Structure 1
Amino acid sequence: MFDFLSFQKRNTDAPSEILNWRLFYGVFVFGLMGAARGLDEGLIGTTASQKSFIALFGLKNPDLSKAEQANLLSNITSMVQMGSILGALVAFYLTDKIGRLWATRELCIVWVAGIAIFLAAASNGSIGMVYAGRFIAGIGIGQTTVVAPTYLAEISPRFIRGFCVCMYSGSVYLGIMLGYFASWGSSIHISNGSELQWVVPNLLHIYFAAIIVALSFFAIESPRWLVKVGKHEQAATHLSALRQLPEDHWYVQSELLDINDQLDREREATMGSTWFAPIRELVMISSNRYRLMLSVFSQVLAQWSGANSITIYAPEYFAMMGTTGSNEKLFATAILGVVKFCSALICALFLIDYIGRKRSLMTGITLQLIAMLYMALFLVIDSSVGDEDAVQSSSQKAAAKGAIAMIYFSGAGWALGWNSIQYLINSEIYPLRLRAIGGSFAMTFHFVNQYGNSKAVPSMFIGMTTGGTMFFFSAMTAIGGAWAWFFLPELSGKSLEAVDAVFDLPWYVIGRKGKDLTVGIGGAVEAVSTEKAKMEMVEDTREVESRRV
């Protein structure tokens, strides 16, 4: 059996009990919420390529111009992103107000309600119901990007935090893969012209939401949130259960001391502040401005690197590279889902904590850049490849196969790099007081850019040509690599409370030397190494608790 403790823990003296079924159950439940994002991205592109959907909603209406057809398609695909902007905005309030568990149940109800309206449009062909249903579903789906990574980061031991949070991004690709295969299977086994071709695959949304709600009732609430709302005894009980250690164990006590110390410092610094104080803190304190910069640029550069547009419009990309036939495009798309899912698992299990966030991201960006440049050059040189009636030479056919392979390489690079980092970085850079609102801001910006990207890509193919669009994505990928090398700090192995020390450094060294310059500085969990220190840690924590009482 694979030994997570020796592989991931390495140079720490954390007790082996902390890696237990309670922890991994919580990781499974909240990680599974990533499937909400994945199912939508995997299903909407393939749904829009089903003949029954095209006919019902007039996606290829001859009375519409090419630009109008592209606009209709982009409106349908991007409506979830519009709803997700609102979902991400309200997520920080709900997550902090009602807790991580009840926020999960609430978002699942909203998600299912939207999907039900969307599917009901099959009975009357109402494009308005499609828009409304997808917008409402987006409100629920958008909340998952804040609720799940926040919870996963808060319950995870520091040396496997990357793995735990990346279970969310890995589940994105589980949803994408299942969505792709469901659409491919329905295209084979359900007759053309039947609305069931796209209704049946989209029922996966409802199945996953029901599973998540049911499982959430057996999960443990975040101890850090419980401390934040003043439920200290319950927080100690929950943390003890998560770590499978007694409440008075030095490891549990050191974590509680870190959490309480950080929260006390934050409250002391903001005593008497209004509800607007957290927003003011985000923009007025230099260390928080650096955090905001990381949130903003990680979302902009990730979304405009092009890989996410391939996820949403995968059948169109395979058609551009010479794949013909509806079933063939859907099958090729399904295999892309497998590639991305496997790449995301490799990243979560072996890279994100072992070689670090930064190296994993740079590896993914390099793969993605090579793939994008190849596809850009190919589309510029062979502009007729997407025409079904075009006659191709043997060399052109070989180059087209290479371009199809590069779609898979791009997907692998995206899963190894940006897709994991865009969720992980925002869940671990913010202090407890600002974690929900910081993550909410980041994911709002994420969906604004994803909406712009999904809305713009069909028109970009027309205005910039397919080759020009791929060159644009290549340039953005290269810029992202340069930005990550200079600005993105390595945070693997650091506790959430110890991350503050990195952002207290001068801005020009945070990204390149932040981790090395803060070794041993920060959280009590990192500082404790001897039995004497462990006993002193327990006594210090008891003294702090007695003063609080």
Structure 2
Amino acid sequence: MGLLTLKEDRPTPKAVYNWRVYASASVASFASCMIGYDSAFIGTTLALPSFINEFQLGLLGAAEKSLISANIVSLYQAGAFFGSLFAYGSTHYLGRRKSLFVFVSIFILGAGLMLGANRERGLGLIYGGRVLAGIGVGACSMIVPIYISELSPPAVRGRLVGLYELGWQIGGLVGFWINYGVNLHVPPTRTQWLIPFAVQLIPAGLLFLGALWIKESPRWLIANGRREQGIENLCWIRNLSPDDIYIIEEVGFLQEEVERYRREVGASFWKPFASLKIRRVQWRFFLGSALFFWQNGSGINAINYYSPKVFSSLGITGTNTGFLTTGLFGVVKTVLTIIWLLYLIDHFGRRNLLMYGALGGSICMWIIGTYIKIAEPEKNPTDTVPPAGIAAIFFFYLWTAFYTPSWNGTPWVLNSEMFDQNTRSLGQASAAASNWFWNFLVSRFTPQLFTALGYGVYFFFASLMILSIFFVFFLVPETKSIPLEAMDRLFDERPVWKAHGRVIEILHVQDEEWRRNADGADLSQDEKMATTVDQRETI
């Protein structure tokens, strides 16, 4: 098999893998550029001499300064938590595309407010802008993975949702390096720290303009009674005619799924909440939330938001040196994310990535923590990093190599796939809110954790990564190449670690039977769709 060879659930025309589906996913992923940029730029911006001088943070005690930094960072996560919940109502009534318009506009308003802060006005505009920007990105973090998964052919769904993660890393890469650049080339005036705050408007503006071009999700349109427009959008995205057998099959699957959940759950705003009484639905909501608990338990957001503190704990001193090391961290993450989305996510599988990533990452964290305990680099500063410190930095980057192609983006892919049509919006809202909730706790209390635990912080994260392996092996099924309409069958299979192979086998048998029955039959499009539904119901 070649590097980009795909494993398909059914014979798929090459036209399906066209530029439109990739371009639509790329445009939507400007939302993740906004998120990634913030996670990277804010910690290093707060460490800029110009920002410290502007708001006279240097006159404060260490505890008070840490509290202000934690508040600036964590208010964003608090806003994102509520934004991801607000997006459920928006996507239900307005759809995916219009909701992106609404929430990117809120983000732009918040980012603009931050630019008005100065010494005289104080930090109030930054606090308020951070909340609004957080609402915007929280909502987008819920909408975009759903939108991409709903327009994706199953064989490249992981890759396309991976573009969302790639956007996150590209935004982070810019965020990590921009402060290195302004610290090196821009005088320490108000302009120095305003530039990083202003740059976040660029991906937001591109998303706002791109949303004028992308199409509404065909699945959402069909589920909301706009069948003809849904078929039209699906044909545009797939680059196929309405009478192509692939389109006929897909529309049949979609229609059957919508009708089944209308019978079992209902289609109103509140009906998905009622479906939470169903144990299999409860279980997937729990899995979605827990995946983000384990993701944040790896320590990634402690590193993202407080990278200067993390690198200083390894013995790296000097503002520019710390920024440079942080920037290299962003480069490593971005390169590995490209490898992840092009090959690993749709070939190696979600489960394997999560388990092997956690195992390797945990070993690295134990080594880093042991070095800090023995050498105490912060208490013994030197002009050059000793050989043991260089080894610790190597293991930090090795940890990044394990974490990035595993826990960094894979939980988003899984959550975009595992929910059915009628609970997908609510499920993704719950998962995104969980992500921002755990993110908030990490960003709010990381400074205190470093103060209280020191090297123990690394042991804490290492232990959580070990525990996540058992969680994934026993509870999370493999979802690669499984159509969204077959996820119920997948999650019903036991044991979990054999579910994927069994469902793929059923799908192949089902498709062969359908094509034998349809071969040579002179049926109308509606009759073919009805036949498709009847054949697929055994799944």
1:10/1:258 CA distance change after superposition, 3 Å = closer
Q: Distance in 2 between matches of 1:173 and 1:50?
A: 22
Counterparts in 2 of 1:536 and 1:119: CA distance versus 1, 3 Å:
farther
Partner Cα separation in structure 1 for residue 142 and residue 512 of structure 2: 30
Q: Which moved more, 1:10-19 or 1:411-420?
A: 10-19
Structure-2 separation of matches of 1:312 and 1:541: 54
For residues 109-137 of structure 1, the C-alpha deviation after alignment (integer angstroms, 9 at most, x for no partner) is: 11111111112113635122111110110
Once residues 379 and 537 of structure 1 are traced to their aligned partners in structure 2, the CA distance between those partners, rounded to angstroms, is 73
In 1, Cα distance between the equivalents of 2:510 and 2:156? 14
2:502 to 484, 498, 517: 517
Which position in structure 2 is the counterpart of 1:135? 131
Aligned to 1:360: 353
Amino acid at match of 1:412: A
Q: Which residue number corresponds to residue 281 of structure 1?
A: 275
Deviation for aligned residue 1:409: 2.0
SS in 1 for 2:346: coil
Contact 2:74 2:440 in 1 (8 A): yes
Please, what TM-score do these two structures have when normalized by structure 1? 0.92
Corresponding residue SS for 1:122 = coil
- Greater CA drift, 332-341 or 523-532: 523-532
| Paired position in structure 2 for 1:36 | 34
Question: Which position in structure 1 is the counterpart of 2:378?
Answer: 386
Q: In 2, are the aligned partners of 1:258 and 1:523 still within 8 Å (CA)?
A: no
Quote the residue 1:444 is aligned against: 433
- Show the 5 A alignment for 1:298-317: 298-317=291-310
Q: Distance in 2 between matches of 1:9 and 1:196?
A: 51
Corresponding residue number in structure 1 for 2:408: 419
1:160-309 pair list within 5 angstroms: 160-192=156-188, 194-271=189-266, 275-282=269-276, 284-309=277-302
Q: Give the secondary structure class of the aligned counterpart of 1:455.
A: helix
Instruction: Give the whole-Å Cα distance in 1 for the aligned partners of 2:9 and 2:86.
Output: 40
Which residues of 2 match residues 502-513 of structure 1 at below 5 A?
Answer: 502-506=490-494, 509-510=495-496, 512-513=497-498
Residues 1:100 and 2:96 are matched in the alignment: yes
1:493-546: per-residue Cα shift (whole Å, max 9, x none)?
11000111012235xx23x12212323446999567746546669757446679
2:51 corresponds in structure 1 to 53
Between the aligned partners of 1:307 and 1:240, the Cα distance in structure 2 is: 40
Cα distance in 1 for residues equivalent to 2:337 and 2:219: 27
Matched, 1:117 2:113: yes
**1:274 positional shift:** 6.4
TM-fit CA distance, 1:373: 1.1
Q: Residues 135 and 536 from structure 1, CA distance in 2 versus in 1: closer, same or farther, beyond 3 angstroms?
A: farther
The 8 Å contact of residues 34 and 169 in structure 1, kept in 2 or not, is answered as yes
Deviations 1:144-192 (A, max 9, x none): 1111100100000001100000110111110000111111111111112
- Seen in structure 2, the aligned counterparts of structure 1 residues 398 and 23 have a Cα distance that, compared at 3 Å, is same
| Number of equivalences | 532
Residue type of the alignment partner of 1:158: P
Aligned match for 1:490, one of 470, 478, 481: 478
Match for 2:408: what amino acid? N
**1:434 equivalenced with 2:448 (yes/no):** no
1:311, distance to aligned residue in structure 2 (A): 1.4
Question: Match of 1:120, SS?
Answer: coil
> Match of 2:234, as an amino acid?
L
- 1:60: Cα distance to partner? 3.6
Alpha-carbon distance, 1:3 to partner: 7.5
| Structure 1 stretches lacking a partner, 5+ long | none
Query: Post-superposition shift, 1:230?
Result: 0.6
For 1:80 and 1:537, the matched residues in 2 are separated by 58
Percent of aligned positions that are identical? 27
1:243-267 Cα shifts (integer Å, max 9, x gaps): 1111011101111111110110000
Equivalent position SS for 2:422:
helix
CA 1:223–1:365 in 2, change beyond 3 Å: closer, same or farther? same
| Partner SS, residue 483 of structure 1 | helix
Structure 1 distance, partners of 2:249, 2:528, is 13
Where does the alignment leave 5 or more consecutive residues of structure 2 unmatched? 534-539
Structure 2 distance, partners of 1:141, 1:47, is: 19
Distance 1:79 1:52 in 2: 22
Instruction: Give the RMSD, CA atoms, in angstroms.
Output: 2.4
Query: For the structure 1 residues 46 and 145, does the alpha-carbon distance in structure 2 shift closer, same or farther, using more than 3 Å as the test?
Result: same
Counterpart secondary structure, 1:212: helix
Contact 2:29 2:163 in 1 (8 A): yes
Answer whether contact 1:42 1:311 (CA < 8 A) is retained.
yes
SS of alignment partner, residue 137 of structure 2: helix
The question of 1:27 aligning with 2:18 is answered no
Q: Distance in 2 between matches of 1:422 and 1:543?
A: 36
Choose which of 61, 70, 76 in structure 2 pairs with 1:74.
70
- Which residue does 1:18 correspond to in 2? 16
Q: Which residue of 1 aligns with 2:536?
A: none
